[in-house]
Amino acid sequence: MKTLLIYSGGMDSTTLLYKLLADGDEVRCISFDYGQRHKKELEYARRICEELGVEHSIIDVRSLNELMQGSALTSDIPVPEGHYEDENMKQTVVPNRNMIFISLAMAQAISLGFERVALAVHAGDHAIYPDCRPIFIQKMQAVAAIANYEKLDVFAPFLTMSKGEIAEVGRELGVPFEKTWTCYKGLAEPCGKCGSCVERGEALG
């Protein structure tokens, strides 16, 4: 199976990368620079792909940043602290991000002759992020089947899994979690307080 992975360099997408490789897929990764506060995730993604010998593209879509405002990740708004399911975490929702990323990844997948686009959304994302919920993925799968002459699959194998369960899969696969980046603040070291850091800490114990 030829799979194009939307890859952030975080623990979830890195675990999915390792899983796809273990399953015998031909994998290529695509990451997006959209002017995000935590841009350093891209460097972590690049390093892991280099270590694994996986082809990796970082696509510059910073010109879209002005269309994706109002989020703590793209605007001059403080990153909220607390648990992922807290109401204030809605401040980290980037308008239409996953639809944009999936659409761009679909274009590259078709251009390369790949059969599916994969992403590592999971059950822990459902409370806050509408574009990580099962209904959204189902709709994108339907669109991917009819938007072009070539049919694509939108593959989200972690959709019903918790981050803790993903961590267990990662441990079994030998994922180097210490080489992944999760923190939304993009500081020199993880803040340990933003929703992303808190959830990661809970998952890894």
What is the sign of the dihedral through the CA atoms of 103, 147, 132 and 45? Answer: negative
CATH assignment of 2-204, among 3.40.50.620, 1.10.1200.10, 3.30.230.10, 3.40.50.300: 3.40.50.620
Tens digit of each residue's pLDDT (9 = 90 or more) over 98-116: 999 999 999 999 999 999 9
pLDDT of residue 172: 98
Q: β-strand 26-33 against 153-155: which pairing, if any?
A: unpaired
Which of 12-16, 35-39, 124-128, 195-199: highest mean pLDDT? 12-16
pLDDT for residue 5 is more than 70? yes
The pLDDT value recorded for residue 149 is 95
- Tell me the pLDDT of the chain averaged across its residues: 94
Can you tell me the distance from the alpha carbon of 28 to that of 8, in angstroms, rounded to the nearest whole number? 13
**Does 61 score more than 90 pLDDT?**
yes
Q: What is the pLDDT of residues 68-86, one digit of tens each?
A: 898 888 888 888 887 767 7
14 touches 180 (CB < 8 A) = yes
Read off the pLDDT of residues 128-177 as tens digits, 9 standing for 90 and up. 899 999 999 999 999 999 999 999 999 999 999 999 999 999 999 999 99
32 in Cβ contact with 74 (< 8 Å) = no
**Helix, coil or strand: residue 146:** helix
pLDDT score for 84: 65
Every domain of the chain and the residues it spans: 2-204
